[in-house]
């Protein structure tokens, strides 16, 4: 097997750690590599070649080595190299953000990239980088990560400023949301309470029901006349009406019934943030079971409508 050399200008200690793990994994399979480190100007290179083993491994094992080292390089790029690049983009181009904000935005951007998946659920960018790197390692003796990112993976590198812009947009939206919650919390604090206990049955984002302590249904239409409309908050008319109604009633205690939802619906999460310790979440009581039944009925109706459309 020919020697395989991998080099980089930055984050070389981290690169070595990824390559060392790949080397150890190969050793567990009986594939032994010897390596050496060399400095060429501002670049550091790590060279590996196969040596004799008790399993008489020869050049037929070259592909295993290529895949292992290429996988290490792909993980290094997606987990270290890209994170550092993203962080530098924020720090250099958006200098008015504090260090903790830069870190938060970088984390958000990294998460966005990691959520790009192949149809089989595998990481999209890691797989693409792995293919490009392994292809080059099969045909060329040296692999310079900076060069690969500048030329063969240029499209992926050009994604980074765009994903930072998206992360910043979401960050600003989150700040607006937090200010919105604080404002409603203030309205709730200064509002006189009209009841001790209120039940909120949350079936989904567009279907919410309110009940008093005796289980009496409280139509939102009746509360709407007393509620002061609030503008500028996220969400549509349903959320506007529900939140206005809750602030108007200002219960001393609010019980959120979410049925069998694996995750709390966003509108219920907003209500929890507004009411804080006044809010309690329940997911296993008669009202919760009603929510499940209604949800199942809605799904059946939707399925029935879809079936009819396919028959046309």
With cut-offs at 50, 70 and 90, classify the pLDDT of residue 226: low
Coil, helix or strand at residue 77: helix
Which pLDDT score, from 0 to 100, does residue 232 have? 42
> In this predicted model, which residue has the larger pLDDT, 116 or 236?
116
* Region of poorest pLDDT, from 64-78, 177-191, 298-312: 298-312
* Region of poorest pLDDT, from 18-32, 108-122, 282-296: 282-296
Which pLDDT score, from 0 to 100, does residue 308 have? 39
Share of residues in the chain with pLDDT > 90 (%): 57
Tell which residue, 47, 66, 163, 183, has the closest CA to residue 105: 163
> In this predicted model, which residue has the larger pLDDT, 224 or 84?
84
Which pLDDT score, from 0 to 100, does residue 300 have? 45
**Beta-sheet pairing, 279-282 with 253-257:** parallel
Considering the entire predicted model, what is its pTM? 0.76
User: Tokens 């949301």 sit at which residue?
Assistant: 177
For residue 211, which phi and psi values (nearest 5 degrees)? -135, 145
Polymer length in residues for the chain: 312
With cut-offs at 50, 70 and 90, classify the pLDDT of residue 257: confident
User: How far is CA 252 from each of CA 34, 100, 166, 211, 267, rounded to the nearest angstrom?
Assistant: 70, 36, 39, 14, 19
Direct distance between the N- and C-terminal alpha carbons of the chain, in angstroms, rounded to an integer: 63
Question: Which domains occur in the chain, in start order?
Answer: 4-176 (no CATH), 191-311 (3.30.420)
With cut-offs at 50, 70 and 90, classify the pLDDT of residue 283: confident
Contact status, residue 5 vs residue 141, Cβ threshold 8 Å: yes
Number of CB atoms found within 10 A of residue 99's CB: 8
- Rounded Cα–Cα distance for residues 307 and 222 (Å): 37
Contact status, residue 131 vs residue 86, Cβ threshold 8 Å: no
Which pLDDT score, from 0 to 100, does residue 296 have? 56
Q: Is 101's pLDDT higher than 90?
A: yes
Which pLDDT score, from 0 to 100, does residue 51 have? 79
Q: For 113-122, what is the mean pLDDT?
A: 92
With cut-offs at 50, 70 and 90, classify the pLDDT of residue 209: confident
Contact status, residue 146 vs residue 8, Cβ threshold 8 Å: yes
- Rounded Cα–Cα distance for residues 285 and 289 (Å): 6
Is 282 exposed, middle or buried, given 0-12, 13-18 or 19+ CB atoms closer than 10 A?
middle
Which pLDDT score, from 0 to 100, does residue 306 have? 32
Q: Is 284's pLDDT higher than 80?
A: no
Which pLDDT score, from 0 to 100, does residue 129 have? 96
Average pLDDT for the chain = 84
- Rounded Cα–Cα distance for residues 259 and 201 (Å): 8
């Amino acid at each position: 097997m020919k020697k395989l050399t991998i080099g980089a200008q930055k984050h070389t200690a981290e690169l070595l750690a990824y390559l060392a793990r790949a080397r150890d994994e190969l050793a567990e399979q009986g594939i032994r590599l010897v390596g050496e480190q060399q400095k060429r100007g501002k670049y550091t290179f790590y060279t590996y070649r196969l040596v004799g083993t008790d399993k008489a491994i020869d050049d037929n094992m070259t592909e295993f080595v290529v895949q292992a080292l290429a996988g290490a390089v792909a993980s290094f790029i997606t987990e270290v190299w890209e994170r550092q690049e993203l962080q530098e983009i924020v720090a250099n181009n958006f200098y008015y953000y504090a260090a903790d904000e830069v870190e938060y935005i970088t984390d958000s951007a990294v998460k966005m990239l990691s959520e790009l998946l192949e149809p089989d659920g595998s990481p999209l960018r890691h797989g693409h980088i792995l293919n490009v790197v392994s292809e080059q390692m099969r045909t060329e003796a040296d692999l310079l990560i900076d060069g690969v990112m500048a030329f063969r993976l240029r499209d992926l590198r050009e994604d980074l400023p765009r994903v930072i812009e998206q992360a910043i947009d979401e960050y600003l939206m989150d700040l607006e949301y937090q200010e919105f919650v604080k404002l409603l919390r203030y309205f709730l604090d200064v509002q006189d309470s009209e009841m001790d206990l209120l039940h909120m049955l949350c079936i989904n984002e567009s279907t919410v029901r309110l009940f008093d302590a005796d289980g009496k249904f409280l139509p939102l239409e009746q509360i709407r006349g007393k509620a002061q409309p609030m503008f500028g908050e996220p969400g549509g008319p349903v959320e506007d009406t529900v939140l206005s109604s809750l602030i108007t009633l200002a219960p001393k205690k609010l019980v959120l019934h979410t049925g069998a939802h694996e995750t709390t619906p966003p509108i219920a999460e907003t209500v929890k943030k507004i009411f804080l310790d006044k809010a309690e979440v329940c997911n296993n009581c008669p009202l919760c079971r009603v929510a499940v039944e209604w949800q199942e009925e809605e799904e059946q109706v939707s399925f029935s409508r879809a079936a009819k459309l396919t028959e046309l």
